[in-house]
Structure 1
Amino acid sequence: MKRLFTTTALAASMAFATAAYAAEDDAKNAPMEVTPAQQQDAQPSLETPGEMLSDATATADDDVLAMRDNFAVMSGNAISAADVVGAAVVGPDGKEIGTVDDLVFNEDKSIDQVIIADGKMFGFGGKNVAIDFEGASITRDQNDERMVRIGMTDQALEEVAEFDKAPLEESGGKLATSYIGRDVALATEDDGTGELSDLILDRNGTAKYAVVEYGGMLEMNENRVAIDLNSFKPAPAGEPLNLAMTLDQLREQPSFFYSEEETPKDGEM
């Protein structure tokens, strides 16, 4: 579910490309070590909406959804998690050095780490590593595709210890992939199930809404709504997430769209 956005340039993402790298056994490295004063002076340009920054000083914009008539549209300041998982990871020299394998969330559903599959994944020596989200920024490439820029070269990435995400998979709620593609059990068995197809994040990387798709063949057209992530009850890995809403209540929710261009025009409903 890749979405295209307006291209932007991240002016200050390379300012500290030569920062110190973590030791080999340190899976939580901080590739850009700067003082708070330096962070304040080196803030990237925010002129283009929708760019997510991992810097703790960035101002959060909680308005990730905009209402248009009876539609809910993802705002320009929001990010689709499904766009980030699988995105290219680029080093300080602009070279692609891997892809995003997954996102690790902390207790408040904010991104804590980015799990990266290094560039050798399809050859020999490939592995997953994890870096703190503070050492990464999510932006776009020249083709409007999401990408993650980090301050580490491929050589430095190879020196980071391999990361095992299996314990997080067992938790059922720590990873982006713990949600994306997961079944959603509605209020009663008669209401059937839906599917959680995406997470909508604010610009600082906090998951706010879950995109739920329901209907399909029985309703001729699949329907899509955005539901507050806190509305879902935790469930063990492999089991559907529980949502205390009936099918009729889902139908009453505004239809969700990723952009204004997707919304139905007059006469299309």
Structure 2
Amino acid sequence: MKSLFTTTALAASMAFTAAAFAARGEANNAPMNVTPMQEEAQPVLEAPDEILSRNRSGDDVLVQHDNYVVMAPNAIAAADVIGAAVVGPDGEETGTVDDLVLTEGKSVDRVIIADGEMFGFGGKMVAIDFEGASITRDQNDDRMVRIGMTDKALEGVAEFDKAPLAEDGGKLASSYIGREVVFATEDDGTGEVSDLILDKRGTAKYAVIEYGGMLEMNDKRVALDLDELKPAAADEPLNLAMTLDELRGEPTFFYDEDEAPKAGEM
């Protein structure tokens, strides 16, 4: 299925406290001092006063309307972050986000980065913690991840193998996105997880599930509490204890107000 992504949310940034992992000291993503010249070279934030961190209060993720919900300005779509550019403290792009590592509590713990040479010679995949990092937007309204490590510093980080996490079926954001969802009644067919919606502290709160199409003509989208999906092995679909009729009773999900229907259209 195709999912519709929009990128009109306000600039949001979040800092994540990482759990201790073996041999992660070399991947310490601590904030670095930035010179005025480096600051000028960095991408411009659209709304600096809206930058968010773990220290800010409130955790709104969805805004409820009569028959639909939209992402709150502070919320972040995981599918929007995967593939985003990673920028160091010198304003230089160091790679792209390959994936997000989740804790047992479904909080983002580390970001997996494909460095700038990944698809050439000498490139590699690395994983760094999110302490001192921020997810925001550049001047073109594209997602980017700003980190406290330069390209040279990343070269000293050990290569990361995400295969063991992928086999777990629930430790990577990508292990949810694109995953088939089986409903409570077999005759109801299946759906698909098209995204994870994170709060501003980096905890995955909702799974965006698409269903319908074919006889229903158009795909429908709802955002359900991530805990509604029962864990499963990586090669198996996720189970949802809801029937298709119950799913139809859930508010339709939209990424922002511009995507949502106008009054009287639903």
Please give the range of the TM-score, normalised by the shorter of the 2 chains.
Answer: 0.7 to 0.9
Contact 2:177-2:193 within 8 A present in 1 as well:
yes
2:25 counterpart of 1:3: no
CA distance in 2 between partners of 1:249 and 1:7 (Å)? 32
Unaligned runs of 5+ in 2: 16-22, 33-44
CA apart distance, 1:236:
0.3
Q: Deviations over 1:151-171 (max 9, x none)?
A: 111111111000000000000
CA distance in 2 between partners of 1:236 and 1:101 (Å)? 21
What's 2:112 paired with?
115
Contact 2:181-2:240 within 8 A present in 1 as well:
yes
What's 1:57 paired with?
55
CA apart distance, 1:83:
0.3
2:174 counterpart of 1:177: yes
What's 1:204 paired with?
201
Q: Deviations over 1:5-59 (max 9, x none)?
A: 366597xx9xxxxxxxxxxx6476223169xxxxxxxxx99732xx554xx4343
Contact 2:221-2:253 within 8 A present in 1 as well:
yes
Q: Match for 1:216 among 196, 213, 222? A: 213
CA apart distance, 1:2:
4.4
2:90 counterpart of 1:93: yes
Q: Match for 1:240 among 234, 237, 246? A: 237
C-alpha spacing 1:241/1:69, structure 2 compared with 1 (3 Å): same
CA apart distance, 1:3:
2.6
What's 1:47 paired with?
49
Which residue type is aligned with residue 179 of structure 1? Y
Which residue type is aligned with residue 160 of structure 1? V
CA apart distance, 1:189:
1.1
CA RMSD of aligned residues (A): 2.2
Contact 1:5-1:145 within 8 A present in 2 as well:
no
Q: Secondary structure at the match of 1:134?
A: coil
CA distance in 2 between partners of 1:185 and 1:77 (Å)? 30
2:132 counterpart of 1:147: no
CA distance in 2 between partners of 1:177 and 1:220 (Å)? 27
Which residue type is aligned with residue 203 of structure 2? T
Q: Match for 2:256 among 256, 259, 262? A: 259
Unaligned runs of 5+ in 1: 14-24, 35-43
Which residue type is aligned with residue 137 of structure 2? R
What's 1:40 paired with?
none
Which residue type is aligned with residue 65 of structure 2? R
Contact 1:201-1:209 within 8 A present in 2 as well:
yes
What's 1:41 paired with?
none
CA distance in 1 between partners of 2:243 and 2:24 (Å)? 47
What's 1:166 paired with?
163
Contact 1:3-1:145 within 8 A present in 2 as well:
no
| Structure 1 segments (4+ residues) deviating >6 Å | none
C-alpha spacing 1:253/1:142, structure 2 compared with 1 (3 Å): same
Contact 2:208-2:224 within 8 A present in 1 as well:
yes
Contact 1:88-1:148 within 8 A present in 2 as well:
yes
Q: How many corresponding residue pairs?
A: 242
